[in-house]
Amino acid sequence: MMNNKKFLRFAVLFVIFVLLISPYAASYYYIPKEIEMMAGRNHDFEFNLPLQAKISSEKIGVLKFNNKPIESNNFQIDLRSPFSVQPTEQATLDVKLKFLGIVPLKTVKVDIISQKELVPCGMTVGVNVSTDGIMVLGTGTVISEDGKEYTPSRGILKTGDLILKVNEKSIENKEELISAIENSNGKVLKMTIKRDNELLEIYVTPIKSEIDKSYKIGAWVRDETQGIGTITYYNPKSYTFGALGHGITDIDTRKIIPIKNGKIMKAEITSIKKGRRGIPGELTGAIYDTEEAQLGTIELNTSQGIFGKLDPKKMKAFPKKSFPIAFQNEIHEGKAIILSNISGDKIEEFEIVIQKVSRFQQDISKGMIIKITDPRLLDKTNGIIQGMSGSPIIQDEKLVGAVTHVFVHDPTKGYGIFIENMLKNESDLE
């Protein structure tokens, strides 16, 4: 009987502890570290969390709270109730959060930026990037002249490694790597590689192949990749652009490819493979890899997309109408459109519905769930297909984000990224 009472007391205390700590944990993990707002625009928030927020800044007067000026550094906001904030000029603020107004939780950085308009594109282009080093895809065997199988790279090189140097000499492409191996005469090669952002020195002994009498290290490698994607937007003032809404990953390693450089080129869609349950569809096209057809350069490959600069002399093919951007708190469930040119040169508007807005989603490429509703697009593609990633999403005459992924089990649905998350890379291009 006594043990039952102790267990019941423990269970009650445990439930109370969980009830107290759950909102705390949720608040810590789901409120972002940074929030962006635009000067001159009203921003509505509804966190519904047991937190108090204290705003501190040398420029505290740049904010209005529920249309009333904030004039004190001791101003606090109760995050259990909805509220609106109206920034008046550019500034950076620190907002300190406290659980139940007592326990310090975290500090959120608030960036107030100036009014910004971008040109949504929806243009399908060819994408070509060179890896920042020679990427190892895997290791295998080499049949030597003695008829035996050897694995010279196994346990030394790993999938995803980037080979940077051989015997202290920089390697620019896989042809140079092959040449260095073939000219080794079987002597040990010292290689400088990058593995998970760490530089390492490893040693590999080439084996002379029985098949073609050349030296090999038993590794598959790649130094570039090419495909089709969609440009989301460009900045009409700086000609910087963002595309895809997610990073370019290697098909074998499934990792985002560290790039040395890249380019976008004109492309022509030649066929459409419709998506169906369990099998994603795909755009297939011809890429014009000529100097005349090059539209711009790629400088960044990140989890939010690829980014670079357009050639100002090649802007004739691009749309011209600009739109203001929307922040997360301005996006809502309901009708919207995407822009895409899935056939020919014409960029078309297609109707969609934003079904869910996940403002605290940990994977920032999946901030929205969207559903294709336009019968024209459904007829051509059955929904979202590969190659449409990056198609801009417009709602209430504002650029809100881009298409990123398709639901494999339902091609009419997919994910979208918020435009403000894509724009976090803009400063790295200036």
d(CA 368, CA 122): 18
Q: Sign of the C-alpha dihedral, residues 96, 98, 101, 102? A: negative
CB atoms closer than 10 angstroms to residue 312:
8
d(CA 288, CA 294): 8
Of 31, 34, 36, give the one whose Cα is nearest residue 109.
Answer: 34
Catalytic entry in 111, 132, 250, 374: 374
E strand or H helix at 8: helix 2-30
Structure tokens that stand for 83 in this block:
């509220």
Q: Is 114 marked active-site? A: no
Instruction: Check if the beta carbon of residue 95 is closer than 8 Å to that of residue 79.
Output: no
Residue for token pair 């807005």: 357
Q: Is 374 marked active-site? A: yes
Q: Is 81 marked active-site? A: no
Catalytic entry in 153, 246, 340, 391: 246
- Residue 385 CB contacts under 8 Å (≥ 6 apart), including other chains: 272, 273, 274, 275, 280, 281, 282, 283, 406, 411
CB atoms closer than 10 angstroms to residue 196:
9
Instruction: Check if the beta carbon of residue 90 is closer than 8 Å to that of residue 39.
Output: yes
Instruction: Check if the beta carbon of residue 72 is closer than 8 Å to that of residue 56.
Output: no
Dihedral angle, C-alpha 259, 430, 398, 265, nearest 10 °: -40
Burial of 342 (0-12, 13-18, 19+ CB in 10 A): buried
Burial of 377 (0-12, 13-18, 19+ CB in 10 A): buried
d(CA 140, CA 68): 68
Length of the chain as a residue count: 430
Catalytic entry in 27, 153, 340, 389: 389
Catalytic residues, by residue number, are 246, 374, 389
